[in-house]
C-alpha cells in the first residue's frame, strides 16, 4: 500500500504567503513572464516599489492559493482568474486601481535585444564609434556576421560609420542576435502587459484594459449626438434635448417671421440682406449681368455713386 504523498513544507509556506497577500490587497494582476529575463523582472520590481508586490511562483501553487482564498473570502470570479494564469506567470498584488498599474507600465517601456530566429519589426542600426570590444576573433564576427566596417584604434574595435544591419521584416538568425547583444544593441521596445486582472470581485478582461479609449470616447460621443438628433426630430423632451429644441424652435420662428409681412425692428439687417439678394436676382434676370453686390454688402451700396450714363434705370431705379 502506497503511503500518502507528503507535500513539501516550502510549497505549503508559499501557498500560505500568497493567501496572505490576497487578504492584504484588493486587486490582482497576472503578468506573463515567459519572455522576460531577470534584468527585466528586477526593473519591474523597482518600478512598482511601494505601489505593488510582484510574486513569482509555480502556476499550481498560485491556483491553490487562489482557490483557498476563494473558499475563505467567498468572493466571486476568483476561479476565472485562476483559469487565466499562463504557464509562467507572476502575480501582482496592489491596492492601486488596475488601470493605474497599466498606466505605469505604459509610461515605462524599455529597450531589449533582438531575439534569435525572429522577424524584426524595425530597422536595426549599429552606431559608429568605439564598441569597447578588444581585438581578436570578435572582429571577424563583426565583419562576417553583421558586415560592419571596422577599424582597430587604441586596442579596441571601432565601427567606422553608422550601419544598418537589418531592415524591418528581416529574419535575425542566432549568430546575428548573439553579436548584436555582444555590442549592446537593444533595438526593440518592450512593454509589460497585464495578462488578466481581478479587482475586488470583478474580472477585468485584457480587451477592456487595452481598449482604445480615444476611439471609444469618439464612438460614445457619435452615438450620443445621433440619439439626441433623433430625439429632437421625434419631439422627445428631456434635459438633454430641451435646449437644442428651444434653439431649433427659435430658428424656425425667425424663418417664419421673415416670410410674413410683419416688421420686427431687431431684424432690420436681415431684411436689408434679403432685399439686396432679391434685387440682385432681379437685376440678373432683367439685364443679364452678373450681380455686383453680394448678400451682406448692403451697407456699402448706399454710399456708392450711381452710374446712369447708359440710360438704363439700373438697380437704383427699382427702389425709386
Spell out the domain ranges in the chain: 9-109+191-209, 118-189, 213-259, 265-310
Q: What is the pLDDT of residue 138?
A: 86
Q: What is the pLDDT of residue 34?
A: 77
Q: Which of 18-22, 23-27, 151-155, 294-298 has the lowest mean pLDDT?
A: 294-298
Give the model's confidence band at 154: pLDDT under 50 very low, under 70 low, under 90 confident, else very high.
confident
Matching CATH number, 9-109+191-209, of 3.30.450.20, 3.40.190.10, 3.30.565.10, 3.30.70.1730: 3.30.70.1730
In the chain, what's the furthest Cα-to-Cα distance? Answer: 130
Under a CB-based contact definition with an 8 Å cutoff, are residues 118 and 171 in contact?
A: yes
Q: Which of 60-64, 99-103, 196-200, 259-263 has the highest mean pLDDT?
A: 60-64
Q: Measure the CA–CA gap between 257 and 125, rounded to whole angstroms.
A: 72
C-alpha cell at 295: 448678400
Q: 118-189 sits in which CATH class?
A: alpha beta
Q: What is the pLDDT of residue 235?
A: 81
- pTM for the full predicted model: 0.56
Give the model's confidence band at 313: pLDDT under 50 very low, under 70 low, under 90 confident, else very high.
very low
Cβ-Cβ contacts under 8 Å for 241 (sequence gap 6 or more): 228, 231, 232
Q: What is the pLDDT of residue 185?
A: 92
Amino acid at each position: 500500500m502506497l503511503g500518502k504523498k507528503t507535500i513539501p513544507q516550502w510549497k505549503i509556506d508559499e501557498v500560505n504567503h500568497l493567501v496572505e497577500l490576497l487578504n492584504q490587497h484588493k486587486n490582482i494582476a497576472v503578468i506573463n513572464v515567459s519572455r522576460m529575463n531577470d534584468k527585466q523582472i528586477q526593473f519591474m520590481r523597482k518600478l512598482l516599489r511601494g505601489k505593488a508586490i510582484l510574486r513569482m511562483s509555480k502556476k499550481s501553487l498560485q491556483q491553490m492559493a487562489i482557490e483557498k482564498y476563494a473558499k475563505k473570502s467567498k468572493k466571486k470570479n476568483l476561479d476565472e482568474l485562476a483559469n487565466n494564469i499562463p504557464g509562467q506567470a507572476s502575480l501582482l498584488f496592489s491596492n492601486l486601481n488596475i488601470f493605474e498599474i497599466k498606466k505605469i507600465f505604459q509610461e515605462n517601456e524599455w529597450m531589449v535585444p533582438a531575439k534569435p530566429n525572429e522577424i524584426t519589426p524595425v530597422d536595426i542600426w549599429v552606431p559608429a564609434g568605439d564598441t569597447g570590444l578588444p581585438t581578436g576573433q570578435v572582429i571577424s564576427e563583426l565583419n562576417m556576421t553583421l558586415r560592419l566596417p571596422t577599424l582597430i584604434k587604441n586596442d579596441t574595435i571601432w565601427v567606422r560609420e553608422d550601419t544598418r544591419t537589418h531592415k524591418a521584416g528581416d529574419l535575425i538568425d542566432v549568430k546575428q542576435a548573439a553579436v548584436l547583444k555582444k555590442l549592446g544593441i537593444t533595438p526593440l521596445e518592450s512593454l509589460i502587459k497585464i495578462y488578466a486582472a481581478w479587482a475586488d470581485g470583478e474580472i477585468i478582461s485584457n480587451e477592456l484594459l487595452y481598449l482604445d479609449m480615444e476611439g471609444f470616447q469618439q464612438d460614445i460621443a457619435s452615438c450620443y449626438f445621433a440619439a439626441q438628433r433623433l430625439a429632437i426630430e421625434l419631439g422627445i423632451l428631456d434635459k438633454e434635448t430641451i435646449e437644442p429644441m428651444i434653439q431649433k424652435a427659435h430658428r424656425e420662428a425667425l424663418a417664419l417671421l421673415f416670410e410674413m409681412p410683419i416688421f420686427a425692428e431687431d431684424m432690420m439687417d436681415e431684411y436689408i440682406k434679403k432685399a439686396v439678394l432679391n434685387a440682385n436676382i432681379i437685376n440678373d434676370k432683367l439685364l443679364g449681368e452678373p450681380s455686383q453686390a453680394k448678400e451682406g454688402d448692403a451697407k456699402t451700396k448706399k454710399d456708392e455713386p450711381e452710374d446712369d450714363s447708359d440710360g438704363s434705370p439700373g438697380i437704383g431705379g427699382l427702389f425709386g
